[in-house]
Chain A
Amino acid sequence: MTGEARTVSTMSWEKETREIEARRQLAQQQGGDDGIARQHAKGRLTIRERIDALVDPHSFDEIGRGAGAPEHGPNGELTGFTPANFVLGFARIDGRRVVVGGEDFTIKGGSPSPAGLRKSVYTEDLALQYKLPLVRLHEGAGGSVGGSGGPSLPAPVFAPSRFRSVAQTLKQVPVASAALGAVAGLPAARLVASHFSVMSESTAQILVAGPKVVERAMGEKRSKEELGGAAVHTRNGTVDNGAPDEPATLEQIRQFLSFMPDNVHHLAPVRACDDPADRAEDMLLDIVPRERRRAYDMRRVIHAVVDQNSFFEIGRGYGRSQITGLARLNGQPVGVWGNDCRQLAGSMTADGAQKAQRFIDLCETFHIPIVALVDEPGFMIGSKAEQEATIRHGARTVLAAASSTVPWASVMVRRSFGVAQAAHYGPEAYILAWPSAESGPLPVEGGVAVAFHREIAAAADPEARRRELEEQLAQRQSPFPRAEALAVHELIDPRETRPMLCRWIDRVQPLLPNLLPPQSG
């Protein structure tokens, strides 16, 4: 028996399995103690630490642990193993499965090794195959001029575009990405090819090209932070959000995904809600000042109406006259869009229009109903606005709303003017009006200036006459005729907004499955 056992032992695969284990151990060491120490010294986490911080404990199920480059001694024995510098796998976030991946900056500065590039490109394929949300945690640059040491032949002419799967994910699954260190070239493009992107304000920069390239080409001397720090990119729409540090950045990814379905074939998850659907906040009665020029805080309205603490704002730093985000109504995820009259009177600017269009697209892709809190004075005017092609971007937003298929509820909080107001009402929108609602082709002030300019000019005191006319016309803007003509579904006490919206969401929920696309083979 013992002889037999010994025979089995020498015939077994122990040597190889020991090497598999050795390689796995070495792969866990990433770029080695020095590489990790350098990363920590810059105040940044390693990719494995990032994944651990993001996902549910012990849920990371790695793919391609053996990908990398072994080093051998003179007798062929394994002396080292450099793992592919992209870590990839499945994991769970709040119990829900996702695909997660990111560059390992401790090896070659995240610039792709051959196996690293292969894993990196596979990320989107995995998300598409398993129809799972995708999270990319970016830090690193694109290729290097010296090449990545890969095969010497260039890719064949018939090779599929590397960006094809990136484009497909955006139509199929939620994609959330984070910039956690310097992100340039290809990783920068993948960062923004997402439904939600967030950067760590203390550790990340996003660059098409870094300082050396910029100085060489343009003679412009700028630091990484000056070129592509958070002060630049949270204000121009490159990323949706900023967060103070890496943990807060990852927390935003978790929050975003909590509103998202697994893929376009499912509906967004409804949560149990302990906030009463009939909660009526008294502050809504007087939040909109009777003085028509007086601003108020639309975010207070949003917080009073949606489920408590459920509002997750997206894009606060740019297009600031528009407020967009995700929230819940009686547990059902909804998109929320309001005007911020403290910013350029809440008007539709070129960047505000682009932000709103992106928001409408997000809700459309994932079948999320939209609640619009309308206080729209119209497109932004003036020479700067004309130079920014406001009408072009604004019209696109209006058309995005007009083509929308998700349920809309639009609450006329105050102003609703011009062509721009049309962007705030999707087809067959459920329309509620507060007593403070005003609407028409253009606000009283502009209308008076145009229609009565001769009368004003001829008056003894033109300024006084102007104000008199404005006041007279504003008085005529009673809220009741709209209700009398069924031009709105309901004229309401502002305190009824949440109860009415919760009843609306209850009515439209059964319609949402009709929005799901047919499953293809």
Chain B
Amino acid sequence: MATPITLETGGTVWKLHVKAGDEVTAGQEVFILEVMKMEVPYEAPSAGRVTAIHIAEGDVVAEGQTALVLS
């Protein structure tokens, strides 16, 4: 089952820690958004493989956008 990670807020993608095909564990930090000078980390909600990435470092992103998808 595909699990999308959706952005809670807009901001700028500061660091992207994974690439397509990577295996991640539940709770693993996968990327960091910069929002109002705060670094907002996003974690994998469950273990799985990264099947799609829709963001890149430096991207200005919007709330509700799907950042990446885990299998």
Contact = CB atoms under 8 A, between A and B. Distances in A.
Interface of A: 291, 293-295, 320, 341-345, 347, 445
A396 to B, nearest CB: 23
B41 interface: yes
Interface string B33-56: 001111111000000000000000
A344 B35 contact: yes
Contacts of B35: 295, 342-345
B9 interface: yes
B29 to A, nearest CB: 11
Contacts of B59: none
A295 B39 contact: yes
A295 B9 contact: no
Contacts of A341: 38, 40
A342 B37 contact: no
Contacts of B36: 344-345, 347
Instruction: Give the residue among A320, A342, A345 with the most B Cβ atoms within 10 A.
Output: A342
Contact of B41 (A295, A320, A345): A295
Instruction: Give the residue among B9, B37, B38 with the most A Cβ atoms within 10 A.
Output: B38
Interface of B: 8-9, 35-41
B54 to A, nearest CB: 20
A429 B41 CA distance: 32
A52 to B, nearest CB: 35
6 contacts: A293-B39, A295-B35, A295-B38, A295-B40, A320-B9, A341-B40
B40 A445 contact: no
B62 to A, nearest CB: 14
Contacts of A293: 37-39
Contacts of A291: 39
Nearest to B42: A342
A340 to B, nearest CB: 9
B42 to A, nearest CB: 9
A291 B15 CA distance: 15
A291 B29 CA distance: 16
A98 to B, nearest CB: 35
Contacts of B38: 293-295, 341-342, 345
A169 B37 CA distance: 44
A343 B37 CA distance: 11
Contacts of A344: 9, 35-36
A362 B37 CA distance: 33
B41 A294 contact: yes
Instruction: Give the residue among A291, A295, A345 with the most B Cβ atoms within 10 A.
Output: A295
A343 B8 contact: yes
The 5 closest A-B pairs by CB, nearest first: A345-B36, A295-B40, A295-B38, A345-B38, A342-B40
A203 B32 CA distance: 36
A186 B46 CA distance: 46
Instruction: Give the residue among A341, A347, A445 with the most B Cβ atoms within 10 A.
Output: A341
Contacts of A342: 8-9, 35, 38, 40
Contacts of A320: 8-9
A187 B41 CA distance: 42
A291 B41 CA distance: 12
Contacts of A347: 36
